[in-house]
Structure 1
């Protein structure tokens, strides 16, 4: 690593340590389910670097001991343990404050979206059944796709177990926000570190609705056509990565980063840091849909406030109406799966 990059990383970690040393931090356990996968491994690395994590529990059906050994050698305070197989899931979850779920399989050649749904939906259902039993008060961060369906599946599993708390179940849509910020900054020619763009709706295709009219800093340099193109690129970000990887992979590194950003926000909320606001797919009354991604304020109990959409442009209003049918269909598909399987 170049000295300049080392200095930047060191400064970033020092700033975070300065905050965490200003007051005694609670012990926080984070469990990652699917920690040996393409998203799970870099996510484990990033959460090991987080000074708010005191215990990091890595679980997968195979390969976890190696990942845990590797990550555990990093000289940061979080204690790392690896767990593998069904018989170790309970121990992996015991006492977790935040559970992050990137578990599942990527879509492979010849596999239909329905094939993918059935496999991942089954995995999510099994993991959520275990969460309800072993750490029912944890904040659950759902990364496993399709998020528009897996979050409703998780909700149904928790309802059946009598542990459902709408404030503690999140669909991680942060990657859509990360992409929107990056693409907007590049087009508007503004520093990306100061950019914020809310992204609402869902987490697939046209259900992803970036609100560039509310982007900060505002830019007068972007035409209507620019905004349409930025919206389309944000919606198609996953496809862009799959095509760039020539079908041999999907967005794993950027998704791990996004998952780490949202996990960090949850930990800060739990620790009482004020004004922690992120976009997430949660149970909602912002629209007539039962689940919807919008800005949420995070606190000691999870969601403190689901924030309304604010003023939308005509283009965004049109996009909002266009996404509702597809998003509702995905939500209903998840609920039906959970109730019938």
Structure 2
């Protein structure tokens, strides 16, 4: 049992290092949408993170049960569940990191615009509460469409006068996780040794894995590159189809969200050389938000890196994504600024 417990902790270490019992600073993490399909497994993973001392779980309903369940796990984080809008402020007080998987998945008969309006409204309200109750916290945005919800959060925080671009992140880690997995499977590589940069955004054609910069470097035919790129872009659809319309990517998203959250906490704690990929305010391209490699530090984003040397296929991929990403950003900004 003890070895399984240790293994669970190790799985959260993005660097692949074994769990260390060394003391870490006290950190409060809040999960908004903790009773949902992503929120529940994410809450479990944050409970076993060595970097979390206090875990607040919030949702409209059901959260006390989730908190009671994960609270029985023998790891150091103290857990409390909060249900209902009247308890949102209390859940957020003193937070170092807020993770937002809240929202609804797309259901049969629901248009993308229907989905946008629901989730955008949820994100706007939650971000307002963050700005009022824990304005200095790092925000990890998982709620889709990330390409729009991050701009919504930025505009909402600007209205409150508390926006800090170094502390707002769109979580695109699942795209990286998928690209690494698919690349390793295709070439029979040890996935623990694989890295694949993924840039752009977090939907369809805006997701661009840079296989020319993958490590370890192996030869890929143009057909293999195209197949791997499209599989990475369509990873969410692959899961929806496999679940026969009864769900979306919840478990892999929770895992990716926990990886990124742990990286943020390691940066806050002063660990050197913490690198991830994330959708942040950026001047890497002409767009105001873009996902690329970042360095995390004690104040959030410490450095944003460029795209490196792109081949012709990748240059075409960047060019193709710009109109769609631009439109998504503008849609988010417009929504946030509506009364």
TM-score by length of 2: 0.96
Alignment correspondent of 2:319: 321
User: CA shift at 1:25, angstroms?
Assistant: 1.8
Conserved? CA contact 2:240–2:248, under 8 Å? yes
Kindly state the Cα deviation for residue 98 of structure 1 after the two structures are TM-superposed. Answer: 0.4
- Deviation per CA, 1:174-201: give whole Å up to 9, x if none: 0000000000000111100110001000
> Structure 1, residues 282-304: CA drift from partner, whole Å, max 9, x if none?
00000000000000000000000
Correspondence 1:1-341 to 2 at 5 A: 8-9=7-8, 16-18=18-20, 20-21=21-22, 24-220=23-219, 222-341=220-339
Give 1:240 deviation, angstroms. Answer: 0.2
| Count, aligned residues | 336
Could you tell me how far apart the structure 2 residues matched to 1:115 and 1:237 are? Answer: 22
Alpha carbons of 1:162 and 1:259: their partners in 2 closer, same or farther (altered >3 Å)?
Answer: same
On the 8 A contact 2:171/2:260 being kept in 1, the answer is yes
Paired residues of 1:29 and 1:96 also in contact (CA < 8 A): yes
- Is contact 1:276–1:299 with CA below 8 Å preserved after alignment? yes
CA contact (8 A) 1:16 1:51 kept: no
Distance in 2 (CA, whole Å) between partners of 1:242 and 1:13 is 25
Stretches of structure 2 lacking an aligned partner (at least 5 in a row): none
The SS at the match of 2:223 is helix
TM-score (norm 1): 0.96
| Post-superposition offset of 1:16 | 4.8
CA shift digits 1:222-243 (9 cap, x unpaired) = 2111000000000000000000
Whether contact under 8 Å (1:54, 1:77) holds in the other structure is: yes
Measured after TM superposition, the shift of residue 313 of structure 1 is 1.1
Q: Which runs of 5+ in 1 are unaligned?
A: none
1:228–1:178 CA distance, 2 compared to 1 (3 A): same
Counterpart of 1:293 in 2: which secondary structure?
strand
